[in-house]
């Protein structure tokens, strides 16, 4: 639910209540490249099936309203840049337009009238896992009965895991939405196909017309 400003509501393009295909992927920091690459491949598969043309933007740290340290933001932005370069997709920098908790890859698609729409997004989040004290045992913990309290004597040295004892690390969250708002996507698809839906997507795939004598 979101209370929009007066006059901002616009059919299915912008509604007061919407459904979103939002996924949250929890992974190790060394899995970021693989997971972001998979997200971009998933996005490409879906948008090419619909016949959309789209552009990618890397939105970086806001100037004022953000949580976490600058070092963590720099690390997250670097990971997204490397994933975009590896994917071989053209992308542009969008300075200061990241979410308050992390940088993101924004996807801007274009409808039949060449109007841009912000739908999908892939966001990399180092901050919320730290705020929620998320942790997992790494390969240094050989005894599975070892508890967090058993390792309290030593600490990790990097800023992402500095509040965790040795043998424990913190996961990263990837926020992934491909369609974005389902209502907005239905509106864009309706206009993009000009009402003539492809057979596999049409809500009425066949019509029986009776012929009398």
The model's pLDDT over 32-89, given as tens digits with 9 standing for 90+, comes to: 889 999 999 999 999 999 988 999 999 999 988 888 888 888 988 998 999 899 888 8
Q: Judge whether residue 20 has pLDDT over 90.
A: no
Q: What is the pLDDT of residue 43?
A: 93
Q: Judge whether residue 97 has pLDDT over 70.
A: yes
109-168 pLDDT, tens digit each: 988 888 888 888 999 888 888 888 899 988 776 555 555 555 554 455 556 667 777 888
Distance, CA of 110 to CA of 53 (rounded, Å): 6
The 10 Å Cβ neighbour count of residue 23 is 13
Q: How many CA atoms lie within 13 A of 8 on its CB side?
A: 8
- The band of 183, judged by pLDDT with boundaries at 50, 70 and 90, is confident
Q: What is the pLDDT of residue 146?
A: 54
Judged on CB neighbours under 10 Å (0-12, 13-18, 19+), 102 is buried
Work out the average pLDDT over 22-36: 91
Q: What is the pLDDT of residue 45?
A: 94
Q: What is the pLDDT of residue 152?
A: 52
How far from each other are the two terminal CA atoms of the chain, in whole angstroms? 55
* pTM for this entry: 0.79
192-207 pLDDT, tens digit each: 888 788 898 888 888 8
136 with 165: CB under 8 angstroms? no
- The band of 208, judged by pLDDT with boundaries at 50, 70 and 90, is confident
């Amino acid at each position: 639910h979101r209370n929009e400003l007066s006059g901002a509501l616009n059919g299915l393009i912008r509604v007061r209540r919407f459904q979103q295909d939002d996924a949250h992927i929890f992974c190790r920091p060394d899995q970021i490249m693989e997971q972001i690459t998979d997200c971009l491949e998933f996005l490409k598969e879906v948008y090419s099936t619909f016949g959309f043309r789209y552009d990618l933007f890397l939105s970086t740290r806001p100037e004022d309203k953000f949580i976490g340290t600058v070092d963590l933001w720099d690390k997250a932005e670097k990971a997204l840049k490397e994933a975009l370069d590896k994917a071989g997709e053209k992308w542009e920098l969008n300075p200061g337009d990241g979410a308050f908790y992390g940088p993101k890859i924004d996807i801007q698609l274009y409808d039949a009238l060449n109007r841009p729409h912000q739908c999908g997004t892939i966001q990399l989040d180092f901050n919320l896992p730290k705020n929620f004290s998320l942790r997992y045992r790494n390969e240094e913990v050989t005894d599975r009965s070892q508890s967090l309290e058993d390792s309290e004597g030593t600490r990790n040295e990097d800023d992402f895991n500095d509040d965790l004892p040795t043998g424990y690390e913190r996961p990263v969250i990837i926020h992934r939405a491909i369609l974005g708002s389902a209502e907005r996507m239905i509106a864009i698809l309706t206009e993009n196909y000009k009402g003539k839906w492809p057979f596999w997507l049409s809500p009425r795939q066949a019509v029986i017309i009776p012929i009398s004598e």
